[in-house]
Chain A
Amino acid sequence: MTEPILEVTGLTKEFPIGGGFGRRKETLVAVDDVSFSVLPGEVLGLVGESGSGKSTTARCVMRLIEPTRGTVRFAGEDLLALRGPRMRRVRRGMQMVFQDPYSSLDPRMKVEDIIAEGMVIHHVRSGAAARRARVRELLELVGLRPDHLTRRPANFSGGERQRIGIARALALDPRLLICDEPVASLDVSIQAQILNLFKDLQQELGLSIVYIAHDLATVRHLCDRIAVMRDGRIQEIGDRDQIYGAPRSEYTKELIEAVPIPDPIRQREKQERGAALRRAAKAGPPAEVPTPAVAKAARP
Chain B
Amino acid sequence: MRTLWRNKLVAIAAGFLVVLVIAAVGSLIWSPFDPYTPNVAMRNQPPMTASDGPIPHLLGTDPLGRDLLVRLLQGARISLGIGLLSVLVSGTFGFLLGLVAGYFRGWVDDLIMRLVDLQMSVPSLLIALLVLYVLGPSILNVVLVLAITRWMVYARVTRGLMLSLRGELFIEAAQSLGASHLRTIFRHMVPNLLAPVLVLATLEMAVMLLTEASLSFLGLGIQPPQSSWGLMLAQGREYLTSAWWLVTFPGLAILLTTLSINLIATWLRARSSDTSRDSLGSGVIEPRPGWPTARPRAR
Residues of B near A107 (CB, < 8 A) are: 170, 192
Task: Assess the A103–B179 pair: CB atoms within 8 A.
Answer: no
**B122 in contact (CB, < 8 A):** no
Q: How far is the CA of A105 from the CA of B168 in the complex (A)?
A: 9
**Chain B stretch 148-180: residues in CB contact (< 8 A) with chain A:** 168-170, 172-180
- Known contacts: A108-B191, A108-B192. The answer to whether A98 contacts B178 by CB under 8 A is no
**A104 in contact (CB, < 8 A):** yes
**B183 in contact (CB, < 8 A):** yes
Minimal Cβ-Cβ distance residue in A for B172: A64
**B188 in contact (CB, < 8 A):** yes
Task: Assess the A64–B192 pair: CB atoms within 8 A.
Answer: no
Task: Assess the A96–B191 pair: CB atoms within 8 A.
Answer: no
Task: Assess the B172–A122 pair: CB atoms within 8 A.
Answer: no
- Partner of A95 from the list B176, B188, B191, B192 (CB cut-off 8 Å) is B176
Task: Assess the A104–B177 pair: CB atoms within 8 A.
Answer: no
Instruction: Return 13 A-B CB contacts under 8 Å, by A number.
Output: A64-B176, A91-B176, A95-B177, A99-B169, A103-B170, A106-B188, A107-B192, A108-B191, A108-B192, A118-B177, A121-B179, A168-B173, A172-B177
Q: How far is the CA of A100 from the CA of B175 in the complex (A)?
A: 16
Number of interface residues of A (CB under 8 A): 25
**A253 in contact (CB, < 8 A):** no
Task: Assess the A117–B175 pair: CB atoms within 8 A.
Answer: no
Ranked nearest first, the 8 interchain pairs of A and B with the lowest CB-CB distance are A104-B169, A88-B178, A118-B177, A103-B169, A106-B170, A96-B176, A98-B169, A108-B191
Task: Assess the B178–A122 pair: CB atoms within 8 A.
Answer: yes
**Chain A stretch 86-138: residues in CB contact (< 8 A) with chain B:** 88-89, 91-92, 95-96, 98-100, 103-108, 117-118, 121-122
Task: Assess the A168–B192 pair: CB atoms within 8 A.
Answer: no
Which residues of chain B have a CB within 8 Å of any CB of chain A? 168-170, 172-180, 183, 188, 191-192
Residues of A near B174 (CB, < 8 A) are: 106, 117
Q: How far is the CA of A117 from the CA of B168 in the complex (A)?
A: 17
- Known contacts: A106-B188, A106-B192. The answer to whether A117 contacts B179 by CB under 8 A is yes
Residues of A near B168 (CB, < 8 A) are: 103
Residues of A near B179 (CB, < 8 A) are: 117, 121
**Counting chain A CB atoms within 10 Å of each CB, which of B168, B176, B179, B191 scores highest?**
B176
Residues of A near B169 (CB, < 8 A) are: 98-100, 103-104
- Known contacts: A106-B192, A108-B191. The answer to whether A121 contacts B177 by CB under 8 A is yes
Task: Assess the A121–B170 pair: CB atoms within 8 A.
Answer: no
Residues of B near A118 (CB, < 8 A) are: 177-178
- Known contacts: A106-B188, A107-B192, A108-B192. The answer to whether A98 contacts B177 by CB under 8 A is no
Task: Assess the A105–B183 pair: CB atoms within 8 A.
Answer: no
Residues of A near B178 (CB, < 8 A) are: 88-89, 91-92, 118, 121-122
Q: How far is the CA of A106 from the CA of B173 in the complex (A)?
A: 9
Minimal Cβ-Cβ distance residue in B for A171: B177
Q: Other than A64-B176, A103-B169, A121-B177, give 17 A-B pairs with Cβ distance below 8 A.
A: A64-B172, A64-B175, A88-B178, A89-B178, A91-B176, A92-B178, A95-B176, A95-B177, A96-B176, A99-B169, A103-B168, A105-B170, A108-B192, A117-B174, A118-B178, A121-B179, A172-B177
Measured CB to CB, the closest approach of chain A to B264, in angstroms, equals 23
- Known contacts: A105-B170, A107-B192, A108-B192. The answer to whether A121 contacts B175 by CB under 8 A is no
Q: How far is the CA of A92 from the CA of B178 in the complex (A)?
A: 7
**Chain A stretch 56-93: residues in CB contact (< 8 A) with chain B:** 59, 62, 64, 88-89, 91-92
- Known contacts: A92-B178, A121-B183, A122-B178. The answer to whether A98 contacts B192 by CB under 8 A is no
**A232 in contact (CB, < 8 A):** no
Task: Assess the A117–B177 pair: CB atoms within 8 A.
Answer: yes
Minimal Cβ-Cβ distance residue in B for A105: B170
**A48 in contact (CB, < 8 A):** no
**A165 in contact (CB, < 8 A):** yes
Measured CB to CB, the closest approach of chain B to A96, in angstroms, equals 5
Measured CB to CB, the closest approach of chain B to A212, in angstroms, equals 14
Residues of B near A122 (CB, < 8 A) are: 178
**Chain A stretch 165-193: residues in CB contact (< 8 A) with chain B:** 165, 168, 172
Residues of B near A104 (CB, < 8 A) are: 169-170, 172-173
Measured CB to CB, the closest approach of chain B to A168, in angstroms, equals 7
Measured CB to CB, the closest approach of chain A to B144, in angstroms, equals 34
Q: How far is the CA of A96 from the CA of B183 in the complex (A)?
A: 19
- Partner of B173 from the list A88, A89, A96 (CB cut-off 8 Å) is A96
Measured CB to CB, the closest approach of chain B to A183, in angstroms, equals 15
Residues of A near B175 (CB, < 8 A) are: 64
Q: How far is the CA of A172 from the CA of B179 in the complex (A)?
A: 13
Residues of B near A95 (CB, < 8 A) are: 176-177
Q: How far is the CA of A165 from the CA of B178 in the complex (A)?
A: 15
Minimal Cβ-Cβ distance residue in B for A108: B191
Q: How far is the CA of A117 from the CA of B180 in the complex (A)?
A: 12
- Known contacts: A92-B178, A122-B178. The answer to whether A98 contacts B191 by CB under 8 A is no
Q: How far is the CA of A179 from the CA of B177 in the complex (A)?
A: 14
Residues of A near B172 (CB, < 8 A) are: 59, 64, 98, 104
Task: Assess the B173–A98 pair: CB atoms within 8 A.
Answer: yes
